[in-house]
Structure formats: structure tokens, C-alpha cells
Amino acid sequence: MSDISTAFVLAFQLIATLDGELVDIVGRSLFVSLTAMVAAAAIGLPLGAVIAVYRFPGRRLVIVALNSLMGLPPVFVGLMVYLLLSRAGPLGVLGLLFTPAAMVIAQTVLIMPIIAALSRDAMRDLYEEYREQLCSLGAQPHHAVLTLLWDGRLRLVTVVMAGFGRAIAEVGAVFIVGGNIAYVTRVMTTTIALEASKGNLALALALGLILVLLAVGVNGVAAMFGGVTSYRRA
């Protein structure tokens, strides 16, 4: 019991004194996951809107695929990206394995389907409401896609936040492609796993607390935007 309370005290000390290692790890986590979020949103949001608007052969298949990919196990994504980036892999020449760039790629692959599938759901509802009016005003499908992305922006913020939440909290993919190298590819989740197994509870706990705070913050932002959305809908 005293071990645990000591760990809590030490954890708070690390946070309060902005411990160098802690700041480095949190900073890298945020950098990797925010970059992955931006990349995944840049692909996923337009993809979601396009699937909501256009009717093409194989569309249902794409939707089923995206919905299934939402539940991709991070370790599997990590393994696939690892194979892709390893020396013998097709992208091995880039020399990206065990770098933050590899982690960004893995997390992008992991959350892009989430952002695409959720934004497609949001855009579908909006398009249902807009379709006849847009058509009446002379909008072509590509106009409709841009209109949905702009008019659905508040709901899409929540969607992107959901993607970020998944990215920052996952451990399997970044562990495999990053290698958990200190001061290079070590992020919050991989450090927690490592330090906990070593019995260094203070650092693990401090990072865990920050992770929870981030999760609450992200949800708070999402709820705020969700609230604005429902107000606008009234």
C-alpha cells in the first residue's frame, strides 16, 4: 500500500517539476498522434464525404471494409507497417523503421478508417437533409462533398477527436514500429508498459495520469463541439 502511495507522490512530483524525461515523452506522444490525426483526417474526411455522396459500384463493400477496419487491432497494424518498412520490405529503402515517422504512419493507418467511417455516418445524415435542396440549386456531387465538409465541420471535429483519442492511447502499433527507444521513439503508452514491468511505478503512474487527463480533455472538447452542433440544429 505504501509503495502505491509513494508512487503517487513521486508521480505528482514528476508532473509538478516538469521532469525532463516526462516532458520529452509527452511531447513526442503529442507530436506523433497529432501528426497522425492530421494525416488521417486529410484522407479520412474527404473519403467519408465522397462515400456519403457518390454512388459507385463496390460502394457497399468499401463501407463494410471501413467499418470492419475501425476495429483493427493496433498490434496487427504495427506488424503490417513493420513488414512494409523493414529493410527487406517494399518501403525498406526509406529507412523509416524505428523512427517517429514510422509511428505516425502506423497510427495514421490505424485511425484513418475510424475517421472515414464516422465522418461518412455524419455526412450521410447531413446529405439526407441537404440532397434535394443542393440538387435544386444546381450543385454537382463534388460541390456537395465540399458543402458537407464545411457545413458538417462541428460534427467532424468530434470525429477527428475520436481518432486522436484512439491514436494517443494505443500501445501495440507504436511499440512494434517505434521500438520504444529512449529519447527517440518512446511515447507515453510504451513507457507505461515498460516502466510498469520494471517496477518503476512513479513514471508509469505520472504518464498514466497525464494520459487520462488528455482523454478527459479530448472528450471535453468533443462534447463542447457536440453541444454547439445540437444548438445549431435546433
Partner 1 sequence: MSVLPLLLKGVSVHAGGQILIDGIDLEIEAGPKTVILGPNGAGKSLLLRLCHGLIGPTAGKLTWSGSDSTHARRRQGMVFQKPVMLRRSVRANIAYGLKLHEIPTAHRQERIERALAQTGLGHVAERPARVLSVGEQQRLALARAWALQPEVLFLDEPTASLDPSGTGAVERIIEDIHAAGTKIVMTTHDLAQARRVAEDVIFLHNGRLTERASPAKFFSAPESEAARAFLDGRLLW
List residues binding partner 1 (CB under 8 A).
129-130, 132-133, 135-139, 143, 147, 150-152, 154, 232-234
Contact assessment for residue 169 and residue 218, using Cβ atoms and an 8 Å cutoff: no
| 123 and 148 Cβ atoms separated by less than 8 Å | yes
Cα Rg for the chain, rounded, in angstroms?
20
- Could you tell me the smallest distance in angstroms from the CB atom of residue 139 to partner 1? 6
**Does residue 90 sit in helix, strand or coil?**
coil
Nearer to partner 1, 54 or 150 (CB): 150
Shortest Cβ 49–partner 1 spacing (Å): 14
How many other C-beta atoms can be found within 10 angstroms of the C-beta atom of residue 193? 15
Question: Of the two residues 153 and 198, which places its CB atom closer to partner 1 in the complex?
Answer: 153
Q: Is residue 155 a contact partner of residue 122, using CB atoms and an 8 Å limit?
A: yes
Contact by Cβ (8 Å): 28, 186: yes
Distance between CA 117 and CA 10 in Å, rounded? 42
Min CB(150)–partner 1 separation in Å: 8
- Which residue number, 11 or 123, has a Cβ lying nearer to partner 1? 123
Shortest distance, CB of residue 54 to partner 1, whole angstroms? 18
Are 188 and 25 in contact by the 8 Å Cβ rule? The answer is: yes
Whether 150 and 15 have beta carbons less than 8 Å apart is answered as no
CB of 232 to partner 1, least distance (A): 5
Residue type, 82: Y
Burial class (CB in 10 A: 0-12, 13-18, 19+), 185: buried
Q: Which is nearer to partner 1, 164 or 225 (CB)?
A: 225
Of 103 and 145, nearer to partner 1 (C-beta) is: 145
Minimum separation from the CB atom of position 181 to partner 1 (A): 46
Nearer to partner 1, 42 or 146 (CB): 146
